[in-house]
């Protein structure tokens, strides 16, 4: 039998949290049973890998480029022209409402809304538009998923208990301690010997709170002069954050290394991750950091499910001073190299487990659709 083709709906397949999770799932799912295709609006960094694994990438213009009516028409034309999909899985948070409404109109049988966050970016007008889009989710979704309980409560406030929590799994094999990777990454990034390495991974945008991150590091370096900060990611606020680094005289101590494919290697040279996000669905970077035995100090708005139970997470209030955050960042200096991956697996954050659970969901749902179609066919006969 041919694999079940599942349509994953995203804006693009760049290296964001939701997209990285999708790729981790795609790499580990049994492609003889399930094949991912993608409906996107823009080119993405994962596009070539998707095609290499047999995935088809469809593209329509996004609402910000063509407006509300044209976007809905493009969605309608796509779904009316592609009857091969029985499962549509939308990862656009509140904007998933429009996708699922049009999918329902075109008789797509399984329509999944997946929450990856606990907040929305944008102006007041943009948030109002997304709010209305979000109102379309519950009437049109057949299934709800979330990366954490809090993410479910945010996107499906009245139906959060019915949402399936699919853990943001990581490839644990990549986080086995490797001295070779440590030395190679230190050399590649020109990290001076005996440096205290602080890392942050994430899109350089308002939710990640990079301006406060720089304030924290400015305080930390007064306590730990050999500290360096590695900022991995790109985004709309990068110029503003880089300007602040220059203004504070920290250019020689802060590296902006862009979007990376080797975050697992970066974690092997990291002494502490500082993660002062304003909101997060979960924060897959924190799972990756803990998997490598790295201590993390993170804002207390992040769901507690992110703690794998290895004693590597410190939750701190965003109301506390940058100096308080800096002092906490220096408390736990030693990496924890033993027993961590067992904690990851016991908490359900091994990507193989996440892929298995998702695959089981797809297969079961698809079988129900097939049985329903056969039953209706018998009634007609």
- DSSP per-residue string spanning 256-292: EEES-S-HHHHHTT-SEEEE--S--S--HHHHHHHHT
Residues 99 and 179 in one domain: no
pLDDT at 380: 62
Residues 50 and 159 in one domain: yes
CATH number of the domain where residue 292 is located: 3.40.50.2000
Mean pLDDT by 10 residues, the chain (381 residues): 93 88 94 97 94 96 94 97 96 96 96 92 87 95 95 93 93 76 81 92 94 97 95 94 96 93 88 94 90 93 91 94 92 71 90 95 91 67 58
pLDDT at 177: 65
d(CA 314, CA 332): 10
d(CA 349, CA 25): 12
- On whether the CB atoms of residues 342 and 309 are closer than 8 A, the answer is no
pLDDT at 334: 65
Give the chain's domain count: 2
Range of the structural domain that residue 278 is part of: 172-344
Residues 293 and 188 in one domain: yes
Nearest to 335 by CA among 298, 285, 283, 291: 291
**Which tokens is 32 given?**
């003889």
pLDDT at 206: 93
Residues 144 and 237 in one domain: no
pLDDT at 358: 97
Residues 111 and 130 in one domain: yes
d(CA 359, CA 375): 24
Residues 207 and 281 in one domain: yes
Residues 282 and 356 in one domain: no
Residues 104 and 38 in one domain: yes
Nearest to 220 by CA among 322, 320, 297: 322
Residues 14 and 162 in one domain: yes
Residues 56 and 74 in one domain: yes
Residues 199 and 97 in one domain: no
Residues 144 and 220 in one domain: no
**Which tokens is 332 given?**
């736990």
- On whether the CB atoms of residues 270 and 135 are closer than 8 A, the answer is no
pLDDT at 256: 96
The helix/strand/coil state of 8 is strand
pTM check: above 0.85? yes
């Amino acid at each position: 039998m041919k694999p079940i083709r599942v349509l994953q709906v995203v804006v693009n397949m760049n290296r964001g949290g939701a997209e990285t999770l999708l790729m981790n799932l795609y790499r580990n799912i049994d492609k003889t049973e399930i094949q991912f295709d993608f409906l996107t609006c823009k080119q993405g960094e994962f596009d070539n890998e998707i095609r290499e694994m047999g995935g088809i990438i469809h593209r329509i213009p996004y609402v910000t480029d063509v407006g509300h009516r044209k976007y809905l028409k493009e969605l309608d034309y796509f779904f009316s022209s592609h009857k091969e999909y029985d499962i549509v899985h939308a990862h656009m948070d509140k904007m998933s409402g429009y996708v699922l409404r049009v999918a329902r109109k075109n008789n797509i049988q399984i329509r999944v809304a997946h929450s990856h966050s606990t907040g929305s970016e944008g102006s007041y007008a943009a948030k109002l538009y997304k709010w209305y889009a979000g109102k379309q989710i519950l009437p049109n979704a057949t299934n709800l998923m979330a990366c954490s309980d809090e993410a479910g409560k945010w996107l499906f406030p009245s139906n959060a208990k019915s949402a399936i929590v699919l853990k943001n799994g990581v490839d644990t094999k990549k986080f086995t301690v490797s001295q070779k990777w440590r030395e190679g990454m230190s050399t590649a990034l020109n990290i001076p010997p005996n440096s205290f390495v602080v890392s942050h991974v994430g899109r350089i945008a308002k939710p990640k709170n990079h301006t406060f991150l720089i304030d924290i590091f400015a305080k930390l370096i007064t306590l730990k002069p050999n500290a360096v900060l590695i900022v991995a990611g790109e985004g709309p606020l990068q110029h503003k954050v880089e300007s602040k680094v220059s203004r504070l005289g920290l250019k020689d101590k802060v590296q902006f290394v862009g979007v990376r494919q080797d975050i697992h290697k970066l974690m092997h040279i990291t002494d502490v991750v500082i993660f002062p996000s304003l909101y997060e669905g979960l924060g897959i970077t924190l799972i990756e950091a803990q998997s490598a035995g790295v201590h993390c100090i993170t804002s207390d708005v992040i769901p507690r499910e992110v703690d794998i139970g290895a004693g590597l997470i410190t939750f701190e209030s965003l109301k506390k001073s940058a100096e308080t955050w800096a002092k906490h960042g220096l408390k736990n200096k030693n990496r924890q190299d033993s027993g961590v991956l067992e904690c990851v697996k016991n908490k359900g954050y091994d990507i193989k487990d996440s892929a298995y659970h998702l695959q089981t969901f797809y297969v079961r749902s698809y079988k129900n659709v097939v049985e329903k179609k056969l039953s209706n066919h018998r009634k007609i006969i």
